[in-house]
Structure 1
Amino acid sequence: MGAPQAVPIDRQHVFDTPTAPEHSPYRGFVAGVFSGATKLTVGHPFDTIKVRMQTSTSAKFKGPLDCLTTTVGKEGLRGLYKGATPPLVGWMFMDSIMLGSLANYRAAIKSKFYPNHDTLPSFGHGMAGILSGWTVSLIAAPVEHVKARLQTQYNAKGSKAGVKYSGPIDCTRKLLSNHGIQGLYHGLGATMIGRTFFFFMWTSYDIMTRQLEQRTNMSPMLVNFWAGGLSANVYWLLCYPSDVIKQRIMTDSLENRKFKNWREAAVAVGRQSGVRGYYRGFLPCIMRAFPANAAALVAFEGVMRHLP
């Protein structure tokens, strides 16, 4: 996402691809690894609270704070990082695929549809976002499926009671042995629906980056921080209901399914909890979105600036 030519080169958004010779097909994949590790470290505790709120009834937790205190009280701080191993590996790999493919889709869209433009328009960034979202869904779906099943195991500290999966490898193995590759990829369609909303994240990220570069004297790092955090909030405000539906699908019993498809899960959420059900767990999600994505994009852009 580039600034106009009047902006000094050291403040340009390193993600833009104004000319083909400047584009590297590999830098985004490398820098994405650092983005994923940063995002996981900052955001996973918020994500655990979000998933537990999304997949529990209102009787179990009074709200996000109650969920947090109950989790820490019964399971310790480690409870907040349940299921962290698959997304640690997964987020590093996923952000590498997502951001690397995003950079290449942007270059391809600019070359094909905007060859006479100095920079890719915001709409082009949004379309590249959709394509990268669908691409990374092939990796994200099984990772998020395993993570969701681990996060919704409610066992006390040191207790094995109610534990179906001892860890991510055990969970993956059991899903594959009992339900095959289809079982592991349960929720792929819902994952792709949710990541279609990347259009709004990357469109707004480009717009905010341009405005901050033109209208402020912020350093590149601060521009990335604010644009990254705010655009993530835009994404979650719009896509959150689809994420709730996805979590219901991913934590549904594979032996006795309640939901045959995405539509049935969507209707069930509304029938059970009304409109508020589509935003259950939203507070920890939106609290996580800004710091996790702001930090991740600072890491990504910082690495991009220093890669050859």
Structure 2
Amino acid sequence: MSNSETIDRIIGIPAGIASGVTKLIVGHPLDTVKVRMQTEGGFGRFKGPLDCLMSTVRREGFMALYRGATPPLIGWTIMDSVTLTTLTNMRILLQDMHPERPLNTGDQCIAGLVAGLTVSFVATPIELLKAKLQVQYNVKGGAEGRLYTGPVDLARKLVRNHGVGVLYQGLVPCLMFRSFFWALWGSYDVYSQWLKKRRYSDSMTAFLAGGMSANTFWTISYPCDVIKNRIMAQKDPGAGSKAWQYPNVSSCAKHIFKTEGIKGFYRGFAPCFLRSFPMNGAAILVFETVSSTGKKLFKN
């Protein structure tokens, strides 16, 4: 393998780290609102997304919006590195299989699907810790409702009560949810081509196509994300107990539909949709910029 090919294959690692940090800074506050709306179950804790945002800040302080940020700070950098490195290598593999033509949208969908399924095994324990920390409701300056002091304490208590396997509770819905990465990267290809034909700059194309593809992805994958977060954020029933409220995807989906109807699968959609465009547009812009800059630096 040539030095140029090696750079192409590993450039997703630093680009993914930069992308993950960008996502955290831009998107975590509204992600906290989204997760709280998804998991409160329609019991009237919040009147809507705006009330959730204002109530959280008023009762718990602005930094409560960054509660559970440590897992994704570490996790999103790892997850995006895995995702984007897998995506890059799948693109190279598919291009090698079809050297006579450039990659088409179908190829991008396949690369996205494989990347999504692969990163699910990294994402599940990270997102489980994040979700459980995000739904700790405690008054600013107080310890009321605070069961865990942080991600390490949470992981330690979960493993003590249920074994290491508990950290992969929610793997199935995570695989379901992230399988929709085919739509993210397939639509990104479509939007990018459309914008380039209209002579948008490379950076503007990356930002706009990234934002629009993220909105497309969330629109069709959101119910799976609700189920995933309900399962991940559910209360620990105690040491040795298997009496989880949602033991599997089916039980969770049935409970949501029975108690909340179809709208329950879209609870918290507004903050998610609003955050997805700037967060993913910025993240993909950073990914593309770091990738192209890195290739130029190391290949020259």
Pairwise CA distance, 1:181: 1.8
Q: Which digits, 9 at most, give the CA deviation of each residue in 1:15-64, with x for residues without a partner?
A: xxxxx959711111221110000011000001000000000033110000
Query: 1:99 maps to what in 2?
Result: 84
Distance in 1, Cα, partners of 2:133 & 2:5: 45
Match of 1:236 among 218, 229, 236: 218
State the secondary structure of the residue aligned to 1:24: helix
Instruction: Give the TM-score normalised by structure 2.
Output: 0.92
Query: 2:138 maps to what in 1?
Result: 155
Q: Which digits, 9 at most, give the CA deviation of each residue in 1:197-256, with x for residues without a partner?
A: 111111000111111112x22211100000000000000000000100111111223432
For structure 1, list consecutive stretches of 5 or more residues without a partner in the other structure: 1-19
Q: Does 1:83 align with 2:63?
A: no
Distance 1:21 1:57, change over 3 A: closer
Distance in 1, Cα, partners of 2:133 & 2:118: 24
Pairwise CA distance, 1:291: 0.5
Q: Does 1:217 align with 2:199?
A: yes
Distance 1:168 1:21, change over 3 A: closer
Pairwise CA distance, 1:176: 1.8
Query: 2:248 maps to what in 1?
Result: 261
CA contact (8 A) 1:165 1:171 kept: yes
Pairwise CA distance, 1:78: 0.7
Identity within the alignment, % = 45
After superposing the two structures, state which structure 1 stretch, 20-29 or 162-171, moved more: 20-29
Q: Does 1:125 align with 2:112?
A: no
Distance in 2, Cα, partners of 1:32 & 1:143: 16
Distance in 2, Cα, partners of 1:231 & 1:180: 38
State the secondary structure of the residue aligned to 1:44: helix
Counterpart AA for 1:88: L
1:65-76 correspondence runs (5 A): 65-76=50-61
CA contact (8 A) 1:32 1:99 kept: yes
Distance in 2, Cα, partners of 1:245 & 1:283: 17
State the secondary structure of the residue aligned to 1:253: coil
- How many residues align structurally? 286
State the secondary structure of the residue aligned to 1:71: helix
Pairwise CA distance, 1:155: 0.4
Query: 2:27 maps to what in 1?
Result: 43
Distance in 1, Cα, partners of 2:255 & 2:95: 42
Distance in 2, Cα, partners of 1:21 & 1:175: 43
State the secondary structure of the residue aligned to 1:225: helix
Distance in 2, Cα, partners of 1:218 & 1:22: 30
CA contact (8 A) 2:132 2:234 kept: no
Q: Does 1:276 align with 2:263?
A: yes
Instruction: Give the TM-score normalised by structure 1.
Output: 0.90
Pairwise CA distance, 1:135: 0.9
Counterpart AA for 2:204: L
CA contact (8 A) 1:183 1:254 kept: no
Pairwise CA distance, 1:289: 0.4
Q: Which digits, 9 at most, give the CA deviation of each residue in 1:67-86, with x for residues without a partner?
A: 01100000111110000011
Distance in 1, Cα, partners of 2:173 & 2:141: 34
